[in-house]
Every structure is written in C-alpha cells, then in structure tokens.
C-alpha cells in the first residue's frame, strides 16, 4: 500500500468539507452551529455541526411538499423528465466534488465515492427516458361497446428514508423516479450523513432554477434521527414511504405505515451468499469474492457475507483468499491507495468484534478482523477484513453484521449448497460460480436462490440501475431503481368506458329497472 498526500495538502478534513459545501452552494448556516455533530470516519474528527429538524416541524414540511405535489402533478411527465435531465447535468458537473464528499463523510475509497455519483447520473438518464414511457394497458372487456384501460397517476408525497452507506445514490433511485412520476419528495437522510444530502439538495436547486417554475417544496430535507423519521412515517399525507436501512428499522417502519394503510417500499438488510461449485472458474471467483466481501469495508447491503464452497475446490480457493485477506491495504483512502477504508464508527467496530467472538464460540476459526492504524487515528476505526472458517451455518452466520466478515462453509451436494444459501432470514442477493449449465440454471430456477438478486460468475454486489433492486424475506420485498419499479411511485387506476347505447353488466348480471 502506498501513502500519498491528501488532494488539498495542509487542509483538515473539516476545512475541505466546508470548501466543497460552500462551492456547491450550501449555506454555511446549514452545516455550522447546529446540534448534530458529524464526524468523518477517515479520522474521527468533527467536520460539521448541523442544525436538526424538530419532530414538531415535520408536519409543516410535509404540508409544503403536499402543496408542491398539487402543482407538480399537472406538469406533463416529459417536462418533469426535463427537470431530472437537468439534475443529471448538475451531477455530471459536480461529480468530483460530490464524490469526494461521499469519501470524506462515509469513508469510501475514491473510485467508490465517484461511482456513487455515477449511479445518480445513471438513474437520472433512466428516469428522463422513463418520463416518455409511463404507460398503462388497454385490456379486453367482456361487455360490448366498452373499453377498459389502466392509467398511472402520481401518488403524492413520497417519504425517502436512507441509510448511511449509500448516502445519496439510494435517494436518487427513489427521487429521480418519483419526480418523473409527478410526486414530491421529503427526504430524511441518515443522521450520520447529512452533508452529502445538503450538497445534493443544493444541486437539485440549481437544476430547479434552470428549469424555472418548479414548485417550492418539491424536494425537502428532514435532518435528524429516528424521531424525525417516525413523524414522516406516521403522516397520512405521505402515501408512499421508501425506507432503506436495517431490518430492525424496517420492521418498525413497515408496521407503522401499514397501520395507516400507506404503501412502503422496504430495502433492508442482506446476508448474501455465493456458491463456488466444482466447475467454477476459480480465478474469476477469487477476484469477485475479494471485491464483494471486502469492498466498501463490508458496508454494502449486498456485501458477500457467506461463501459456500464445494469440498473438492475448497483447498484450491480458500488458502489463496486468506492470503489476499492478509495482504490487502487497509487505511485512509484519501492519503493512501488502500482498498479498504474505515468502518463508519465505533458502534460498527464493536458489532464486528462481538460477531467474531460469537463465531469463535460457535467453533469458527477467525483469520484477521483486528483493529489497524489505531496509533495514527485513535478516533477512527480501521479493521483488517476477517475470513472465518465455520463448521456449520450457526450463530452469527445467520445475522447481518455490517462489517467485513466473510464466513466460509463447505458443502458436498448442490442441494445442500442451495439449502445453506436459502437457510437465512434475509433474501437480498446471491451468486453462483459455475460453468456447468445444470448448476447455473438450477441456481436461477424456481427451486434455486430465493433472493431478489441472483448472479452468475460474479459476486452479489455492484448492481446496475437498469434492473429492479431489492430482496425478499427480511430484506423487505421492496423494489427500486430500474425495470418497472416506477409503478410503486404511482397509483393505478382501472377505468371502464361504455360508448354504447345499452348498459350490459359484467358476469351477465341482470338488474332491469323501469325508468
Ligand atoms: P439504520 O436502520 O440504522 O438507519 C437507516 C435509516 O433509518 C436512518 O435514516 C435512520 O435515521 C432511520 N430510522 C431508524 N429507525 C427509524 C424509525 N423507527 N423510524 C423511521 N426512521 C428510522 O441503517 P444504517 O446503519 O444507516 O444502514 C445500514 C443498514 O442498511 C444495513 O442493514 C444494510 O443492509 C441496509 N441497507 C439496505 C439497502 C437495500 O437496498 N436493501 C441499501 C443500503 C443499506
């Protein structure tokens, strides 16, 4: 691993953050002098103090969004798409700055910080095209001289609650679609990452200014924690709540939204597995597993957490993997070319150590997992990724620990591998490494992987925006981003039109009255 100077030599992280925010047009009062201190996981230093929204203020914000929705729904969808196209342009122009801010606020390596912004640009392009393709069906009707069709109308105010680990991309998956669908968006970002949200809102405002006539309140921010989120979730003027985060959060949010018959799109925790079969290309498997398990310091919802390896290839794969785990660079991605940045905070580090302790108690052999760089950054939490050889899928293996821990299990029959893969409460992403088409197709069949995402000869992470993203079981069942995920941001209306001179009733029902 090579050390390199920070891009802005002699500048603290806090100074660089302030310069980026000001450059993007964020008012200084939005990130100084407030009650919520934001720390950079790179160094642990305080980089901003953000004023928070009080739960009692949420109703007024939603009222503003509701008024914006009333106007925005009347704008033709392709014009709404133009706003999103302009947002994509602003993101392209500010990619370096916003990507850098993602790195400084979340600790992602530089290419991943930029990749997060690229994902925002991609979904803006997708949504711009979608704005001319929002369509319903015309359906055959059993009644003469009738037409039946479905239309898609804007749903209303969409509440977006996002997690720290994709602080801005997840918002864009929701918001780009919601805007072209005619909705207003109230966004509650993670309390750990309000700065990238403030920067994104400033870029949205630039696009809105160029568009002209965007109703005030089309995008509003709620800065704060759970209480503010709950006020958003409970408001009946928010017909759709899209919540990304832990399963524990989704269980609460899903129940609360259901209580008032709202719609929720839940994108929750994963416990993703890859199966390495005897026919696998082991070079591809090795590289794919390294990225999927260690990338983003194990802090992706799609991070590879369980590696299920056939007995016959275990000794050809696992020792090489252990070597990579021991050698990979861990450190500050701004001042070095490390591929593994820090964990988000102390809580994440403690959660990781607890899981490793539980794995040892369950008979696991732990390689790595210790703290690194403590002397140079005592307030930051850098860890060596852990590879844990497990005798069985027990204890912490069936839970999601949001840290770089890869549990490795052996299997003997393909059926056993599928049973292990599916034998956890979560159902987000999965993959198989195989060149035997029976195993590939078996994995993708109805009796194969039970996850929302099933890949072949690649890891479970790193999805593109073109497909619908989400998972089953405790992952929540939501779908966002591409394909027809847009439908969740609209309300479907079925209409039957009688253009004849009689009134035939469906199912042959007779109800003739004297008129
Ligand atoms: P978290 O659950 O702690 O917080 C997520 C968001 O929910 C935050 O904005 C938080 O303030 C809010 N929140 C928490 N409790 C709430 C409540 N009762 N009501 C309303 N809002 C509430 O998650 P995190 O630590 O920020 O992120 C990591 C988790 O997110 C992991 O479990 C990861 O798998 C998951 N995740 C899932 C996806 C996906 O698409 N499936 C994507 C990214 C992250």
Q: Is the CB of 322 under 6 A from ligand 1?
A: no
Please check whether residue 347 lies inside any domain of the structure. Answer: yes
Please tell me whether residues 355 and 254 are part of one structural domain.
Answer: no
Domain with residue 302: its CATH number is: 3.40.309.10
What are the structure tokens assigned to 88, written together? 């994509």
Task: Report which ligand 1 atom has the smallest distance to the Cα of 400.
Answer: 32
Domain with residue 158: its CATH number is: 3.40.605.10
Number of neighbouring beta carbons within 10 Å of residue 337: 13
pLDDT at 282: 98
pLDDT at 4: 64
Angle formed at CA 55 by CA 50 and CA 56, multiple of 5 degrees: 120
Q: Is the CB of 402 under 6 A from ligand 1?
A: yes
Tell me how far the alpha carbon of residue 36 lies from the centroid of ligand 1, in angstroms.
18
pLDDT at 7: 47
| CB 101, CB 114: distance < 8 Å | no
Among 464, 493, 499, smallest CA distance to 480 is for 464
Tell me how far the alpha carbon of residue 188 lies from the centroid of ligand 1, in angstroms.
11
Please check whether residue 238 lies inside any domain of the structure. Answer: yes
pLDDT at 9: 53
Which residue puts its alpha carbon closest to atom 21 of ligand 1?
A: 229
Among 153, 173, 154, smallest CA distance to 163 is for 173
pLDDT at 10: 60
Residue 97 is among the residues annotated as catalytic for this protein? no
Q: Is the CB of 429 under 6 A from ligand 1?
A: no
Please tell me whether residues 257 and 345 are part of one structural domain.
Answer: no
Q: Is the CB of 180 under 6 A from ligand 1?
A: no
Angle between helical axes of 77-93 and 95-106 (0-180°, round to 10)? 70
The reported pTM is 0.97
Please check whether residue 504 lies inside any domain of the structure. Answer: no
Q: Is the CB of 414 under 6 A from ligand 1?
A: no
Which residue puts its alpha carbon closest to atom 41 of ligand 1?
A: 267
Tell me how far the alpha carbon of residue 27 lies from the centroid of ligand 1, in angstroms.
27
| CB 194, CB 171: distance < 8 Å | no
Please tell me whether residues 358 and 257 are part of one structural domain.
Answer: no
Please check whether residue 53 lies inside any domain of the structure. Answer: yes
Per run of 10 residues, the mean pLDDT along the chain (length 515 residues) is 60 94 97 96 97 98 98 98 98 98 98 98 98 97 98 98 98 98 98 98 98 97 98 98 98 98 98 98 98 98 98 98 98 96 98 98 98 95 98 97 98 98 98 98 98 98 95 98 98 98 96 88
Please check whether residue 110 lies inside any domain of the structure. Answer: yes
Q: Is the CB of 242 under 6 A from ligand 1?
A: no
Please tell me whether residues 346 and 227 are part of one structural domain.
Answer: no
Please tell me whether residues 343 and 225 are part of one structural domain.
Answer: no
Q: Is 362 helix (H, G, I), strand (E, B) or coil?
A: coil
- If one counts the domains in the chain, the total is 2
Task: Report which ligand 1 atom has the smallest distance to the Cα of 192.
Answer: 26
Mutate to test the pocket of ligand 1, among 123, 163, 481 (most ligand atoms within 8 A of CB): 163
Q: Is the CB of 249 under 6 A from ligand 1?
A: yes
Please tell me whether residues 49 and 89 are part of one structural domain.
Answer: yes
pLDDT at 470: 98
Max CA separation in the chain (angstroms): 92
Contacts 24+ apart (CB under 8 A), 311-314: 311/410, 311/411, 311/412, 312/278, 313/276, 313/277, 313/278, 313/280, 313/282, 314/410
Please check whether residue 395 lies inside any domain of the structure. Answer: yes
Please tell me whether residues 420 and 287 are part of one structural domain.
Answer: yes
Number of neighbouring beta carbons within 10 Å of residue 466: 12
Please tell me whether residues 44 and 184 are part of one structural domain.
Answer: yes
Tell me how far the alpha carbon of residue 73 lies from the centroid of ligand 1, in angstroms.
29
Please tell me whether residues 214 and 232 are part of one structural domain.
Answer: yes
Please check whether residue 3 lies inside any domain of the structure. Answer: no
- Burial of 148 per CB tally in 10 Å (0-12, 13-18, 19+): middle
Q: Is the CB of 233 under 6 A from ligand 1?
A: yes
Q: Is the CB of 174 under 6 A from ligand 1?
A: no
**Structural domain harbouring 63:** 14-268+476-492
Please tell me whether residues 247 and 313 are part of one structural domain.
Answer: no
Among the listed residues 90, 112, 267, 372, the single catalytic one is 267
Please tell me whether residues 217 and 284 are part of one structural domain.
Answer: no
Q: What span, in angstroms and rounded, lies between the C-alpha atoms of 227 and 56? A: 10
Task: Report which ligand 1 atom has the smallest distance to the Cα of 191.
Answer: 11
Please tell me whether residues 247 and 278 are part of one structural domain.
Answer: no
Tell me how far the alpha carbon of residue 269 lies from the centroid of ligand 1, in angstroms.
8
Residue partners of 72: CB distance under 8 A and separation at least 6: 80, 154, 179, 182, 183, 184, 214, 215, 218
Mutate to test the pocket of ligand 1, among 170, 228, 238, 246 (most ligand atoms within 8 A of CB): 246
Please check whether residue 508 lies inside any domain of the structure. Answer: no
Residue found by looking up tokens 């200084």 in the block: 28
């Amino acid at each position: 691993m090579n050390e390199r100077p920070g891009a802005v030599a002699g500048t603290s992280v806090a100074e660089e953050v302030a310069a980026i925010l000001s450059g993007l047009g964020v008012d200084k009062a939005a990130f100084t002098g407030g009650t919520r201190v934001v720390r950079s996981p790179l160094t642990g230093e305080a980089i901003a103090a953000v004023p928070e929204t009080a739960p009692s203020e949420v109703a007024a914000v939603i009222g503003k969004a509701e008024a914006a929705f009333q106007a925005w729904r009347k704008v033709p969808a392709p014009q709404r798409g133009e706003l999103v196209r302009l947002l994509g342009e602003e993101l392209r122009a500010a990619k370096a700055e916003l990507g850098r801010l993602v790195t400084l606020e979340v600790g992602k390596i530089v290419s991943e910080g930029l990749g997060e912004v690229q994902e925002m640009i991609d979904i803006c392009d997708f949504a711009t095209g979608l704005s001319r393709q929002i369509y319903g069906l015309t359906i055959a009707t059993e009644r003469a001289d009738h037409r039946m069709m479905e239309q898609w109308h804007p749903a209303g105010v969409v509440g977006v609650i996002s997690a720290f680990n994709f602080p801005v991309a997840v918002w864009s998956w929701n918001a780009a679609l919601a805007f072209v669908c005619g909705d207003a968006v109230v966004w509650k970002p993670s309390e750990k990452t309000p700065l990238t949200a403030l920067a994104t809102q400033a870029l949205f405002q630039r696009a809105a200014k160029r568009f002209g006539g965007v109703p005030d309140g089309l995008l509003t921010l709620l800065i704060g924690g759970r209480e503010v989120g709950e006020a958003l979730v409970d408001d009946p003027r928010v017909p759709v709540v899209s919540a990304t985060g832990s399963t524990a959060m989704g269980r609460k949010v899903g129940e609360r939204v259901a209580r008032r018959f709202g719609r929720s799109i839940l994108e929750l925790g994963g416990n993703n597995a890859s199966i390495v079969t005897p026919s696998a290309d082991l070079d591809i498997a090795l590289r794919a597993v390294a990225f999927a398990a260690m990338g983003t310091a194990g802090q992706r919802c799609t991070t590879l957490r369980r590696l299920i390896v056939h007995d016959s290839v275990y000794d050809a794969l696992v020792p090489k993997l252990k070597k990579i785990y021991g050698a990979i660079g861990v450190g500050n991605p701004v001042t070095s070319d490390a591929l593994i940045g820090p964990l988000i905070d102390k809580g994440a580090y403690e959660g990781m150590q607890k899981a490793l302790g539980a794995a040892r108690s369950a008979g696991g052999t732990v390689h790595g997992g210790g703290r690194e760089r403590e002397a140079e950054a005592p307030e930051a939490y850098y860890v060596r990724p852990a590879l844990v050889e497990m005798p069985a899928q027990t204890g912490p293996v069936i839970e999601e620990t949001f840290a770089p821990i890869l549990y490795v299990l052996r299997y003997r029959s393909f059926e056993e591998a599928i049973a292990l893969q599916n034998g956890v409460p979560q159902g987000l992403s999965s993959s198989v490494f195989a060149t035997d088409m029976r195993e590939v197709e078996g994995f993708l069949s109805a009796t194969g992987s039970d996850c929302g995402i099933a890949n072949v000869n690649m890891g479970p992470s790193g999805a593109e925006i073109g497909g619908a993203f989400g998972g089953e079981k405790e992952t929540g069942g939501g779908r966002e981003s591409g394909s027809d995920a847009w439908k969740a941001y609209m309300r479907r209306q079925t209409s039957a039109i009688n253009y004849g001179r009689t009134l035939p009733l469906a199912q042959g029902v007779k109800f003739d009255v004297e008129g």
